[in-house]
Amino acid sequence: MRVRTALCSAVSALSALTLLSACSSGATSASSSGKPLVGVDYPRSDTDFWNSYIKYTPEYAKQLGLSVKTTNSQNDVAKLTANAQTFISQGVKGIAMAPQDTAAIAPTLAQLEAKKIPVVTVDTRPDTGKVYMVVRADNRAYGEKACKFLGDKLGGKGKVVMLEGGLDSVNGRDRTEAFNECMKKSYPGIKVFGEATNWDGAVAAQKLQTDLTANPDIKGVYMESSFALSGTLQVLKQKGLLVDPKDKKHVFVVSNDGIPEELKDVAAGQIDATVSQPADLYAKYALYYLKAAIDGKTFKPGKTDHDSTIIQVRDGVLEDQLSAPLVTADGASYGGVPSVKSDDKSLWGNNLG
């Protein structure tokens, strides 16, 4: 009897120890530091813009008291789906992602919603499905600002090339549609050559070269992202068009990102303007909203305390539209759009150190 009692007690103690170990293990998988664990999927690491976002993410995670697991989906929605499964297995409390294919991500969002794992999307907005918050700038405003800058510079007449991003992305669609609509409404005397590039710099360069060969009187280029920067400058140089802005042969170029290289090129007169897409604030507020979701906070449409506006895109989807200024060499207004100088210290591209 004593042996049996002792054995039962030992088993009981062992079971309790096992249970305690399992509980401790679960807590560790959530965060070894005791901080809430979140997952951040980087969409790509082949552009200066996204590499800057990657740099800022751990810095803001530390400031906000979050523990972070990261993956990189390399512009592939299948990899993003697999990465989300990894995050689930790691016990994350929320996920930030930037799906480049904004339609195909819907099933993954539905699965995460069912598991009550809040999602913040950065830079892009899913075509369907619910997320806790979308963190991006007004991408239609990007297209409009580029249109008004070029329309002003060309005096409402001439030809321009628009190097489009991927139209499977809401960003590509927003920038393209807004640019076209603005040109049609405000500058009907300007002909736009729209070129699909799928965010591929080599494709953009080849199509720009073809357009310039067929239409040597082209006087403007709108690149929907800095992915096309290097190739565009190379093509203009080959054509003898990479000249001072005061030269009659100058082709006016507007980019979109605000990376350090663009700011230097604006100051040097190699390109004429860019829109500073806030890589730093994308990282900061993606994590800010994940922490808010974990803490059970809710938000409503309206002005924020960080110079942005939250809008309701559709039922179940709010979007915090962060500020993204037009950047020029002189800081003047173009087509009624104010700009900031390329050396302005408030621009993240001037503060990477």
Is this model's pTM higher than 0.85 or not?
Answer: no
Cα separations (Å) of 352 from 49, 227, 345?
11, 19, 11
Nearest Cα residue to 229 out of 313, 151, 135, 163: 163
**Tens digits of residue pLDDT in 273-313:** 999 999 999 999 999 999 999 999 999 999 999 999 999 99
What sign does the CA torsion over 31, 37, 39, 45 have? negative
Q: How far apart are CA 329 and CA 251, in angstroms?
A: 15
**Tens digits of residue pLDDT in 109-122:** 999 999 999 999 99
Residue in the structure block whose two tokens are 């297209």? 143
- 196 strand-pairing partners: 164
* pLDDT higher than 50, residue 11: no
34, with CB counted inside 10 A (0-12, 13-18, 19+), is: exposed
Alpha helices, H only, the chain: 2-30, 48-64, 77-89, 106-114, 139-153, 170-186, 201-214, 229-238, 260-268, 279-294
Q: How far apart are CA 87 and CA 71, in angstroms?
A: 9
**Tens digits of residue pLDDT in 67-103:** 999 999 998 999 999 999 999 999 999 999 999 888 9
* pLDDT higher than 70, residue 22: no
SS3 197: coil
